[in-house]
Structure 1
């Protein structure tokens, strides 16, 4: 399944899973670099298989290319403005989840994982429904608040994975960097597509609302399951 085990031998840390059951230890290689690479990889992997985090990001991106005027969504004409707006949203999310990932992984805070998972599901639900029935148009602070929950979710995965006994802080930083790389790769695929279709009426009237509503339904199911 998705179970993973971390093995430390002579300061070398390796993560074993069903897909990566055999590994070669090279003790001439820097254990510092090996640990860093392992945790960056796990961070990237987690964001790609963490469908709740991906859907939250996509729900936010769907309206990053649009502006609300006279109760109607309109495509933002300036690409520079879109990139600036998107950068603000992504930075708020990144900063927030970096804070809670680090503090939770270092046991400075110990949130209840059940409530964190429920909170993450509700954050996806809110972000999706807000696209259909906009309550909040400036999403920076809301994204930051929800990002704190997502960071706790990332930390629980890191907790299951385990930290390198010799390089604890490096493990956290590398895992967080992996999450950022994974997040950025999704952004680099989704944003150019959304920019290219933002002006079409079918996107504003149909694809964005229907896509948001579909995400909301999935998030509602998660919310009920996790309650």
Structure 2
């Protein structure tokens, strides 16, 4: 019986470590497109910020975590190294596909959108997505607008501009926005904003927040005792809630070039302390609180990129934070299901906790160097 338990432990550890190694190469590449919708004086404009190469290569972005996993990754990689004029020549065919949906309808009638501006940066670091912008214009003859986002296009953050009580919300690939009155007044209710931003926060942890996942796993592998985990998670949650709110409000703004290497260093530290000490020290909760402040700034940078509804800032912020917490609890639950059964064994720490912590420390150290040099 002991041998069977030990073999089960090794299989569970292998599954966990292989997952960490697989995720360690993944970057935060699949991000929502962002569109600003403005209608005034009989004209309508839709300004879309997007990873243009992903759309031109035909990648199905719905539910995709990383473009490396896509069948069209070779085409995508080639386009990332292409000069702007090469991409610009292919944009009209993309716009034609959008118009065929149609992308925009007013009073139920399709609106033909024409490109007014196509902004594509020069080739830079091809390890990172190149942010491009397409500005589309058409005639706004009517009272109610709807935006349809293509199936396979991933998520779209749609923001209404130039009106009172503007709509801000997420549209998944293959879905359509609510009907939006051209004169404004389309803002989400408090409960609507709260509910809509819960999955946004959850998604930033699972599957896209590997750095936060590894940090939470670092907390998990310190000790199998519930009390030690509870102290750490409470300190981490309290801290990142504070800086998430301050950062989202614009009261605290620390450049990502500083925050991201420090987040990586926090991952490395907790993992190394797991290996060298292996118990809850008096200073550990205070350190976790400090690290939580850093991670909260990381969460706030995400909200800074996407924005929050102006009229429902607090409910949306709370919803995002609830989603983050649910994501963290899910990470802990998955880890407990994989290796928690063996936590009471004498060999749990040398066979599971220390090797897993070593992998986490190596990934964190690699990120410190990578993020500092970039």
Task: From the two aligned structures, give the one with the greater helix fraction.
Answer: 1
Please say if residues 128 and 216 of structure 1, whose CA atoms lie closer than 8 Å, have aligned partners that are also in contact: yes
Inter-partner Cα distance in structure 1 for 2:356 and 2:305: 33
Please say if residues 43 and 178 of structure 1, whose CA atoms lie closer than 8 Å, have aligned partners that are also in contact: yes
Inter-partner Cα distance in structure 1 for 2:216 and 2:272: 14
Partner of 1:14: 169
Partner of 2:320: 175
1:165 partnered with 2:310:
yes
Partner of 1:108: 251
Partner of 1:129: 272
Inter-partner Cα distance in structure 2 for 1:26 and 1:34: 15
Please say if residues 47 and 182 of structure 1, whose CA atoms lie closer than 8 Å, have aligned partners that are also in contact: yes
Unaligned runs of at least 5 residues, structure 1: 66-81
The equivalences for 1:41-190 within 5 A come to 41-48=199-206, 49-65=208-224, 82-134=225-277, 137-138=280-281, 139-190=284-335
Partner of 1:4: 33
1:24 partnered with 2:177:
yes
Please say if residues 55 and 215 of structure 1, whose CA atoms lie closer than 8 Å, have aligned partners that are also in contact: yes
Any idea what SS the aligned residue of 2:178 has?
coil
Inter-partner Cα distance in structure 2 for 1:30 and 1:165: 10
Task: From the two aligned structures, give the one with the greater strand fraction.
Answer: 2
- Quote the offset at 1:106 in angstroms: 0.3
Q: Aligned residue pairs: how many?
A: 209
Please say if residues 12 and 34 of structure 1, whose CA atoms lie closer than 8 Å, have aligned partners that are also in contact: no
1:33 partnered with 2:184:
no
Unaligned runs of at least 5 residues, structure 2: 1-29, 35-156, 181-185
Which TM-score applies when normalising by structure 1? Answer: 0.83
Q: Which has the higher contact order (CA 8 A, sep 6+)?
A: 1
- Quote the offset at 1:202 in angstroms: 3.5
Which TM-score applies when normalising by structure 2? Answer: 0.52
Moved more, 6-15 or 155-164: 6-15
Any idea what SS the aligned residue of 2:158 has?
strand
Please say if residues 97 and 148 of structure 1, whose CA atoms lie closer than 8 Å, have aligned partners that are also in contact: yes
Inter-partner Cα distance in structure 1 for 2:249 and 2:215: 25
